Structure 1
């Protein structure tokens, strides 16, 4: 398992330049905490402990794939702040809380990286499980429409999400279903939001779905640790 720690992007212009001049030029671990009260967070990723912290390289920038500002819409449109009424939109500190719960053995929480494997290979959030969005939304890659439940969605609901299907009526029970924390590439990425809409359409409780809207774009932007698959 390879760990990465990438410092926040700085444009070096305007207010960012002024802020840089007011800050110390040399950083120690204590100088770049996650919050004033949190220096780092230890989580488990595929059975290995990973320490999530912020980078300390003042000259680091965003990875090239996250530097683009124009990607073409559709499909890469700016996502709304609320993806589905009742589904909570969360930030980095909330995400760290859910990752800690998973690492401490809470089997009722699952953090889901909705991106396809080619993106995940470039780095993901420690503690997340990759369930590619097109395993839930087969037609989404072409039409970005919410499809009917396909065979893989039925398997994922049962095996990964903890839902139960009545074999006679084909209806779903979500009484013991997990709380799902979805993310993808960021506010321009529709993959996780489409998954949430699909699950909502088949009755997954809104209170059991969370959405990290900022995704990998924001995670990298604040310099938080990522992991790459072996």
Structure 2
């Protein structure tokens, strides 16, 4: 994971340049040395930071603890052999790396409501046919993924099977497992940590 070290350095430099001018240090940081991270999106740069209200609590859909299983069953810690599971800090590093694609693998209605800034929407039902957007050459059933990008996929949380299903489909099409990363915590963990979200786009 040598590339993560370089990306972490670039994030710290970005933070130093883009941190809002304020005489007061943020109380709630991402890491002790990083208060925010700026990522590029189709709508321009977005600053990802944590909610500063230390009394803030998650409410609504992502506060829900119990959903019927199936289909909303707890997902394994590993989506597949050779696919690394990551957390928020690794995902932030990947969002800042122009050579990595972070994929919101949820269906359109979920994406439009709320998504992680800088991620690309490719629904889990479509990913096997859209690998050309991720560096593969060919068509479904006959992809050459020798030049595939590093990608990180996420969905709604520990109980959501959309990104694991997408990962399995990618592997069946020949995508290299060591270039796929699984953000298992998904939107629920992202929101529990009070990190910035934006509305998705078509």
Give the alignment's TM-score, normalised by structure 2: 0.82
Please show how residues 10-159 of structure 1 align to structure 2 within 5 Å. 29-102=25-98, 106=99, 109-136=100-127, 153-154=128-129, 156-158=130-132
Q: Which moved more, 1:56-65 or 1:30-39?
A: 56-65
Contact kept? 1:165, 1:172, Cα under 8 Å:
yes
Structure 1 portions without partners, runs of 5+:
1-27, 137-152
2:164 matches 1:164? no
Cα deviation, residue 132, structure 1: 1.3
**Distance in 1 separating the partners of 2:193 and 2:40:** 21
Map of 2:144 onto structure 1: 173
**Distance in 1 separating the partners of 2:142 and 2:159:** 33
Map of 1:229 onto structure 2: 200
**CA gap 1:123/1:172 in 2 versus in 1, 3 angstroms:** same
Contact kept? 2:26, 2:52, Cα under 8 Å:
no
**Distance in 1 separating the partners of 2:181 and 2:29:** 25
Contact kept? 2:104, 2:115, Cα under 8 Å:
yes
Structure 2 portions without partners, runs of 5+:
1-23
Cα deviation, residue 41, structure 1: 0.5
**Distance in 2 separating the partners of 1:201 and 1:166:** 13
For the residue of structure 2 that corresponds to 1:34, the secondary structure is coil
**Distance in 1 separating the partners of 2:80 and 2:184:** 12
By relative contact order (CA 8 Å, sep 6+), the higher-ranking structure is: 1
Runs of 4+ in 1 over 4 A off after TM superposition: none
Cα deviation, residue 164, structure 1: 1.2
For the residue of structure 2 that corresponds to 1:50, the secondary structure is strand
For the residue of structure 2 that corresponds to 1:196, the secondary structure is helix
**Distance in 2 separating the partners of 1:131 and 1:166:** 16
Cα deviation, residue 172, structure 1: 2.4
For the residue of structure 2 that corresponds to 1:172, the secondary structure is coil
* 1:6-45 deviation per Cα after TM superposition (whole angstroms, max 9, x unaligned): xxxxxxxxxxxxxxxxxxxxxx652111111111101111
Contact kept? 1:114, 1:131, Cα under 8 Å:
yes
Map of 1:215 onto structure 2: 186
Contact kept? 1:29, 1:56, Cα under 8 Å:
no
Say which one has the larger Rg: 1
The size of the alignment, in residue pairs, is: 178
Give the alignment's TM-score, normalised by structure 1: 0.73
